Amino acid sequence: MAPDLPPAGQPPRLALQDVGKAYADAGTRVQALAGVSFEVPAGALVALVGPSGSGKSTLLRLLAGLERLDSGRILVDGQPLVESGAVAYMPQRDLLLPWRRLIDNLTLGLEIQGLDRTEARARARALLPTFGLEGFEQAWPPALSGGMRQRAALLRTVLLGRDTLLLDEPFGALDALTRLELQDWLAGMWQAAGWTLLLVTHDVEEAVYLADRVVALGPRPGRVVLELEVDLPRPRDRGLLGSPSFGRQVGRLLAALGHPSGLA
């Protein structure tokens, strides 16, 4: 079941128009992104795939307001992106502060916003069971497993109260089984909560399995090589992974990214 599409005429949650970004690396100018355009409709799950060097993380950092673009425009609900704060950004590493217990890591964003500590903790506690973190609020981050740390980082992001989430390879550092488990968990959370998700991954199968739309970026300079509307029913399960349709869509993406196995 596809999410309800926004009525025609409503601007997309995120719109990137001809976005360019270059940075200096050891004295040479590297074009990270060259004319990238795509849209993320409100309520959609869009995946951004591409090899390393295709500027995926740079794109997210631009959207998070952590870097400025050199050319083009980024629109949020039709309005120009002015500063950080419009969307919630979850970096690649979980970045839990080692000197804060789990509960105080979760409330970090709320504290920054100036919310009262008791109220902030109450909000975090209410979501602990959903995120599989019940009973660990007093734990120090190093005592948590990789999957728990990642779910904690996501909960910290969610608590910022912004319903557009940018996730930079949220499953990259996890073992294979935890990864599969968290993918399904995230898909369920997204459907239940009605978030708009932009998910960066280098795993094409993960992208097709999770997303409504996959944007493939080619490397150096990063540019869109294919936009694929994923044609798979929801809710999805692992059985889809063996279907010809799934294999075809993964193949198209791999071909667009220049991978030989995609040409078949």
Partner 1 sequence: MHPPAEPSTVEPPLAGLWQAAWPPLALLAGLVLAWHLVVVVGGLPAFILPSPGRVLGVLVARRAGLGEALLASLAATFAGLGLALVLGLTLALLIQVSTGLRRALYPLLVVSQTVQILAIAPLLVIWMGFGMRPTIAIVVLICFFPLAVSTADGLAAVDPELVALLESMGASRSQVWRMVRLPAALPAFFSGLKIAVTYSVVGATIGEWVGGSTGLGLYLLRSKNALATDQVFAAMLVTSSVSIGLFLLTALAERLATPWQSALRARAGRRPRFPSGAAS
Task: Pick one of 3, 6, 53, 65: the residue that binds partner 1 (CB under 8 A).
Answer: 65
Closer to partner 1 at the Cβ: 23 or 140?
140
Residues 81-100 that bind partner 1 (CB under 8 A): 84-85, 89, 91, 93, 95, 97-100
- CA 20 – CA 5 distance, rounded (Å): 29
Count the residues in the chain: 264
Total chain residues near partner 1 (CB under 8 A): 34
Residue 137 CB-density burial (10 A; 0-12 exposed, 13-18 middle, 19+ buried): middle
Measured between alpha carbons, how far is 28 from 54 in angstroms, rounded to an integer? 17
Q: How far is the CB of 233 from partner 1 (least distance, A)?
A: 26
Smallest gap from Cβ 143 to partner 1, in A, equals: 5
Half-sphere exposure of 69 (CA within 13 A, CB side): 27
* Position 128, amino acid: L
**68 contributes a contact to partner 1 by CB under 8 A:** no
Which residues within the stretch 125-184 sit at the binding site for partner 1 (CB under 8 A)? 132, 135-136, 138-145, 147-148, 160, 181
Is residue 108 a contact residue for partner 1 (CB under 8 A)? yes
> Which residue from 222, 175, 194, 191 is spatially nearest to 48, judged by alpha carbons?
222
> Tell me, what amino acid is at 99?
W
Residue keyed to tokens 């500027």:
55
Please report, as ranges, the residues that interact with partner 1 according to CB under 8 A: 64-66, 84-85, 89, 91, 93, 95, 97-101, 108-109, 111-113, 132, 135-136, 138-145, 147-148, 160, 181
